[in-house]
């Protein structure tokens, strides 16, 4: 790392040139690099490495394949604002093959892919959008006379990194739901080796951008969990950062769409929200650069767990989620915490009181969660019968 301070780069001619290419002021460009580094959870000084890499390193060649999908992942990329898509593909990465965005078609498009792969052998990034059908030899999806299986294996053979973008490419997503007539599968299952997965329907474009910038800056992909998801984006439950979490802890739930609780912004758990069992950064990074609340739960729609295998496209929409975390995500320490001292009788008494209060709160939450939909429906039916008899 040539520079350890982002501020030292402000007067660098490379930064000036890069910010001009991206249509940003210098400080906006540096702020963008700092934000990417912070989102990735990188140590101090890494923001300078990100800035230098974006400004001076050769743009990585990207081969982007499309299979069984709705193109929602690409549509999400089209709505990126910092930087915008044309700046991203022209100044940060070199998007050398993308069926949706290509001006070329037919043999010209396929030749562009093969040329880019040969010129960047061992150094390009392969991105796969959409599930890969495997039944009957993969005949249910062909591009340029090759099946999706053949194309994926051919392009992955000399790729420096493979990224599965969207839930369909990550594990099969919607095309893989029962009865799955085409044998739709994720990229890792077809290649028989782990790949970086960025699930979501659609995923946030900045999760993809940050992953690529990490590769550009450090020559490696970011740390991932056991499902191949980048930890910087998928290490926390949606439930932990949700703006409705306080209502969950207090036992305030919307019971029906449009009821008083729903209008007041109460927790959507009882409407089938899968936030308590889904890992993603949706409530913190939001979508569309349109301001606060621009994500499903913020708009009043329960999360359906699109980024979680076995939840999204698998569980019924209004089925109650499995709550992985009932307690608040952190304990609340004192403002000034003494160090190197044993517990006093007074502090022990306070701790006991806090623990008692927490246990009482947990009991209230458990009681509220225990009210089944059947019980609620029975109460409503009883009330309706009473009105009919009256």
Q: Is the pLDDT of residue 268 over 70?
A: yes
Q: Which residue has the higher pLDDT, 131 or 384?
A: 131
Instruction: Give the pLDDT of residue 366.
Output: 45
Do 299 and 221 sit in the same domain of this protein? no
How far are the Cα atoms of 253, 326, 336, 374 from residue 364, in angstroms, in the given order? 13, 11, 30, 20
Question: Parallel, antiparallel, or unpaired for β 125-129 and 142-143?
Answer: unpaired
Range(s) of the domain holding residue 275: 238-335+342-378
Highest mean pLDDT among 82-91, 158-167, 283-292: 158-167
Assessment of whether the complete model's pTM goes beyond 0.85: no
Which of 179, 211, 233 finishes a domain? 233
Do 225 and 308 sit in the same domain of this protein? no
Going across the sheet that includes 61-66, the strands are 94-98, 61-66, 125-129, 161-165, 196-198
Which of 215, 233, 251 finishes a domain? 233
Q: Is 177 part of a structural domain of the chain?
A: yes
Question: 328 near 241, Cβ under 8 Å?
Answer: no
Determine the Cα–Cα distance for residues 229 and 362; give it in Å rounded to an integer: 31
Determine the Cα–Cα distance for residues 318 and 302; give it in Å rounded to an integer: 9
pLDDT single digits (tens) 29-88: 777 777 777 766 666 667 777 777 777 666 778 899 999 999 888 888 877 766 666 566
CATH number of domain containing 286: 4.10.480.10
Question: 194 near 237, Cβ under 8 Å?
Answer: no
- Residues paired with residue 68 on neighbouring β-strands, in sequence order: 131
Question: 38 near 50, Cβ under 8 Å?
Answer: no
Do 219 and 249 sit in the same domain of this protein? no
Q: Is 351 part of a structural domain of the chain?
A: yes
pLDDT above 70 coverage of the chain, percent? 76
Q: Is the pLDDT of residue 314 over 80?
A: yes
Looking at the structure of the chain, the number of domains it has is 2
pLDDT single digits (tens) 323-336: 887 765 555 444 45
Instruction: Give the pLDDT of residue 377.
Output: 62
Determine the Cα–Cα distance for residues 26 and 28; give it in Å rounded to an integer: 5
């Amino acid at each position: 790392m040539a520079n350890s301070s982002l501020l030292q780069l402000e007067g660098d001619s490379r930064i000036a040139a890069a910010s001009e290419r991206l249509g940003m002021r210098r400080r906006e460009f540096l702020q963008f690099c700092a934000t990417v580094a912070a989102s990735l959870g990188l140590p101090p000084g890494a923001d300078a490495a990100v800035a230098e890499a974006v400004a001076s390193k050769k743009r990585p060649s990207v081969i982007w394949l499309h299979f069984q999908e709705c193109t929602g992942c690409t549509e999400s990329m089209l709505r990126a604002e910092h930087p915008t898509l044309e700046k991203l593909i022209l100044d940060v990465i070199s998007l050398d093959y993308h069926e949706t965005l290509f001006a070329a078609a037919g043999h010209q498009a396929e030749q562009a892919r093969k040329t880019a792969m040969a010129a960047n052998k061992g150094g390009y990034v392969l991105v796969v959008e959409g599930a890969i059908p495997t039944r009957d030899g993969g005949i249910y999806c062909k591009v340029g006379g090759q099946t999706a299986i053949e194309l994926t294996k051919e392009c992955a053979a000399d790729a420096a990194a493979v990224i599965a973008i969207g839930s369909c490419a990550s594990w099969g997503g919607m095309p893989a739901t029962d009865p799955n007539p085409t044998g739709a599968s994720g990229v890792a299952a077809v290649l028989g080796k782990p790949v970086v997965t960025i699930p979501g329907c659609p995923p946030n474009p900045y999760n993809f951008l940050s992953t690529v910038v990490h590769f550009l800056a450090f020559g490696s992909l970011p740390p991932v969990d056991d499902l191949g998801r980048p930890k910087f984006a998928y290490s926390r439950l949606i439930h932990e950062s949700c703006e409705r979490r306080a209502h969950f802890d207090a036992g305030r739930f919307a019971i029906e769409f449009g009821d008083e609780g729903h209008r007041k912004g109460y927790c959507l758990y009882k409407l089938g929200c899968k936030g308590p069992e889904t890992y993603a950064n949706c409530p913190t990074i939001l979508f569309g650069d349109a301001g606060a609340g621009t994500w499903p739960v913020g708009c009043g729609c329960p999360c359906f767990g699109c980024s979680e295998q076995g939840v999204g496209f698998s569980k019924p929409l209004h089925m109650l989620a499995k709550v992985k975390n009932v307690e608040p995500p952190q304990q609340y320490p004192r403002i000034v915490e003494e160090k190197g001292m044993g517990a006093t009788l007074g502090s022990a008494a306070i701790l006991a009181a806090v623990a008692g209060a927490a246990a009482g709160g947990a009991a209230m939450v458990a009681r509220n969660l225990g009210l089944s939909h059947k019980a609620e429906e029975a109460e409503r039916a009883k009330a309706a019968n009473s009105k009919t008899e009256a």
